[in-house]
Chains A and B, each alone.
Chain A
């Protein structure tokens, strides 16, 4: 036996863990058909770890849903497969390509895959009849997220109405929905980026290798470092450089930049983040940069 707490103090990380586990169990008990939105990124992997703890030794009482942009990093997909296999979880893949073919999503050549995910995601939720979808969003990420509830109600069209949010008191969550509506659930609401990394470090959680510093051919564009690949090639005047980089988020590879880094393990990443002066989204997500209200707009439409 471990953990004899003579002073009955629980560290903040343990308190966050306890709160998230409580949320997972509450949703599994009250919703008919929950699903966990799994991107393969570090936040959704931490969610998966917490879900594993919440129901151990039983298997997860819900499947995972991945929206496949067709532009995911290979390293992310292989980590996903390894988690799915270890937990014996069921994986539902919703493909943006298929959604475009079926006419649920319009590809106008200008809209980023991140934004097109909205259509594919909402379509998958509706087709499968999911009533609750866990997401890895954190309130420290962005100003609009700071006001979102743990249980975030979505109407028939999957939209979020920030002015009509239900009050959320104590740890009493209200999961009432009407047919056709669903609830987004954010078990990591109170975690910060640093908490996530400390937890990955403490629990020795397997995450995609591109989070750690590695050598990669990159090009600098709009102040971001983008990885050279099938979609990203140098334009006039741009030069390709080999740099030690790592990714702080792992979205669509055409939109997600990397940062120069020598951090090859979680301890080094924690040190790096502790002194970082730019938020993770501001540094590396092209899709949040268009306006101060970019995230709020995407959320209203039904983004994660």
Chain B
């Protein structure tokens, strides 16, 4: 026997109506990143008794003086054995106003690809530094990567403030140093917060040890940072993902174009152009499942109907006649290379951009970017694992793309090794022609 649930009560709708913040954390093994995440989970009451008990007993058996909160997040056995984080892990917690998805990324140099992966979907980047060490090469590199991936909000958390006697001087020195460095980057929003992840100061609760600090606690900032306006609601971009044709008697003439809105607002009556064909039509209906809706905007997954019977298939894009990307086969992009065999000129790869697959050839590697000094090495000639460089590609199919700085969905692509099937590169488009 099956039961049908009963109807909605006011108090149970809160979880559904709260909004979402995705953030990526970066820091070295010793910066206390895992401890900080453990602290956020613990203080927001997202850790369960059995999880805490398991961690407490492991800490005891290892002879630690305190509960090692890092053990909460180090998931794979080899990581627990080595005491390091080796892959992107996703964590979830919620407060009464927001749900949070953390992409917890490792900080070591050899794992740049994981950091790029975690940052690709993040609204906010959290960089940890050890107050005793100040800015390191690694923290600079993390800031560079977050800026390159166009993560719009950045938090620099100066951790282990308890070990520098809560010195305002130390805080301000690191703050100044970072602000100077950040002028070379693209960081629209920066917050610098003095914390102790181990003791919890300024994480959820305001610390009495930092009377000189008037900014928000980390949790308060995460709860209130405004992310809704980071989306592009102006430039209509709808990559067609799937054509729904029921071929049933009831829906004989149904022809819907399904996809996730990548930019702008789509509504009934809008004049649209279908790319790459250039055919124009008008939106006759926007649907979400079985319901007609007034407007669709990012990141909604909807079904669009057009008035005319134009030829539309997966990989096409619906845009506005006076605001549409130009189909381009010559792509200039920053590429993060993610495999041991280096990327070389003339190399051929599969490329996936929005819902479009094609092949790409490397025409030129213009320079390699040193993510520590921002120096551009024009003699590089190739990109090794975890290196980032500016590359010119020629594609077999035209891409319907925008600069990454304008749209993170239509401005990004991945490169796939055709022999192994592995994702080997991540690309952010500068320009296309």
B300, A10: Cβ atoms under 8 Å? yes
Collect the chain B residues with CB atoms within 8 Å of residue A241's CB: none
For A118-145 the 0/1 string (1 means CB < 8 A from B) is: 0000000000000000000001100111
Collect the chain B residues with CB atoms within 8 Å of residue A57's CB: 244, 246, 248, 250-251, 254, 290
Q: Does A97 reach chain B (CB closer than 8 Å)? A: no
B8, A296: Cβ atoms under 8 Å? no
Q: Does B260 reach chain A (CB closer than 8 Å)? A: yes
A169, B116: Cβ atoms under 8 Å? yes
Partner of A190, one of B54, B92, B292: B92
B92, A169: Cβ atoms under 8 Å? no
Interface residue tally on A, bucketed by range: 35 or more
Cβ-Cβ contact count across A and B, 8 Å cutoff? 255
For A171-211 the 0/1 string (1 means CB < 8 A from B) is: 11010111000000000011010110011111011111101
Partner of A8, one of B233, B291, B413: B233
Using CB atoms, name the residue of chain B closest to A280: B48
Partner of A3, one of B6, B290, B293: B293
B409, A170: Cβ atoms under 8 Å? yes
In angstroms, Cα B6 to Cα A202, docked, is 9
Partner of B423, one of A59, A140, A168, A283: A168
Question: With A25-B258, A189-B90 as given contacts, are A13 and B301 in contact (CB-CB < 8 Å)?
Answer: no
B6, A9: Cβ atoms under 8 Å? no
Collect the chain A residues with CB atoms within 8 Å of residue B289's CB: 52-53, 56
In angstroms, Cα B289 to Cα A201, docked, is 18
In angstroms, Cα B117 to Cα A14, docked, is 23
Using CB atoms, name the residue of chain B closest to A30: B357
B117, A168: Cβ atoms under 8 Å? yes
> How many Å from the CB of A59 to the closest CB on chain B?
7
Q: Does B101 reach chain A (CB closer than 8 Å)? A: yes
Collect the chain A residues with CB atoms within 8 Å of residue B89's CB: 143, 146-147
A75, B2: Cβ atoms under 8 Å? yes
Question: With A11-B19, A59-B246, A279-B50 as given contacts, are A172 and B413 in contact (CB-CB < 8 Å)?
Answer: yes
Partner of B77, one of A8, A168, A283, A296: A296
A169, B77: Cβ atoms under 8 Å? no
> How many Å from the CB of A116 to the closest CB on chain B?
23
Partner of B90, one of A56, A146, A296: A146
In angstroms, Cα B289 to Cα A57, docked, is 8
Q: Does B198 reach chain A (CB closer than 8 Å)? A: no
A192, B92: Cβ atoms under 8 Å? yes
B242, A28: Cβ atoms under 8 Å? yes
In angstroms, Cα B2 to Cα A78, docked, is 7
Collect the chain A residues with CB atoms within 8 Å of residue B348's CB: none
> How many Å from the CB of A215 to the closest CB on chain B?
14
Q: Does B59 reach chain A (CB closer than 8 Å)? A: no
Interface residues of B in 52-83 (CB under 8 A from A): 54, 58, 73-78, 80
Collect the chain A residues with CB atoms within 8 Å of residue B54's CB: 292
Partner of B299, one of A19, A139, A202: A19
> How many Å from the CB of A139 to the closest CB on chain B?
5
> How many Å from the CB of B312 to the closest CB on chain A?
14
A194, B413: Cβ atoms under 8 Å? no
A282, B19: Cβ atoms under 8 Å? no
Q: Does B208 reach chain A (CB closer than 8 Å)? A: no
B291, A2: Cβ atoms under 8 Å? yes
Collect the chain B residues with CB atoms within 8 Å of residue A201's CB: 5, 8, 12
In angstroms, Cα B3 to Cα A265, docked, is 9
Partner of B2, one of A22, A79, A189: A79
Q: Does B397 reach chain A (CB closer than 8 Å)? A: no
Q: Does A106 reach chain B (CB closer than 8 Å)? A: no
Partner of A279, one of B51, B244, B246: B51
Interface residues of B in 1-48 (CB under 8 A from A): 1-9, 11-13, 15-20, 48
In angstroms, Cα B293 to Cα A261, docked, is 40
Q: Does B416 reach chain A (CB closer than 8 Å)? A: yes
Using CB atoms, name the residue of chain B closest to A138: B92
For A17-43 the 0/1 string (1 means CB < 8 A from B) is: 111011001101100000000000000
A209, B3: Cβ atoms under 8 Å? yes
Interface hit among A62-70, A159-167, A227-235, A248-256: A159-167
In angstroms, Cα B299 to Cα A16, docked, is 10
A22, B260: Cβ atoms under 8 Å? yes
A78, B258: Cβ atoms under 8 Å? no
Collect the chain B residues with CB atoms within 8 Å of residue A139's CB: 90, 92
Q: Does B412 reach chain A (CB closer than 8 Å)? A: yes
Q: Does A157 reach chain B (CB closer than 8 Å)? A: no
A29, B314: Cβ atoms under 8 Å? yes
Partner of A266, one of B12, B87, B250: B12
Q: Does B99 reach chain A (CB closer than 8 Å)? A: yes
In angstroms, Cα B22 to Cα A139, docked, is 14
B76, A162: Cβ atoms under 8 Å? yes
Q: Does B109 reach chain A (CB closer than 8 Å)? A: no
In angstroms, Cα B242 to Cα A54, docked, is 10
A1, B293: Cβ atoms under 8 Å? yes
B16, A163: Cβ atoms under 8 Å? no
Q: Does B346 reach chain A (CB closer than 8 Å)? A: no
Can you list 15 contacts pairing A with B, beta carbon distance less than 8 Å?
A: A1-B294, A3-B291, A10-B19, A11-B16, A12-B15, A25-B241, A75-B2, A162-B76, A169-B412, A174-B421, A192-B92, A201-B5, A211-B3, A266-B5, A282-B50
**Which residues does A use to contact B, with CB under 8 Å?**
1-5, 7-19, 21-22, 25-26, 28-29, 52-59, 75, 78-79, 82, 139-140, 143-147, 162-163, 165-172, 174, 176-178, 189-190, 192, 194-195, 198-202, 204-209, 211-212, 265-267, 270-271, 276-279, 282-283, 292-293, 296
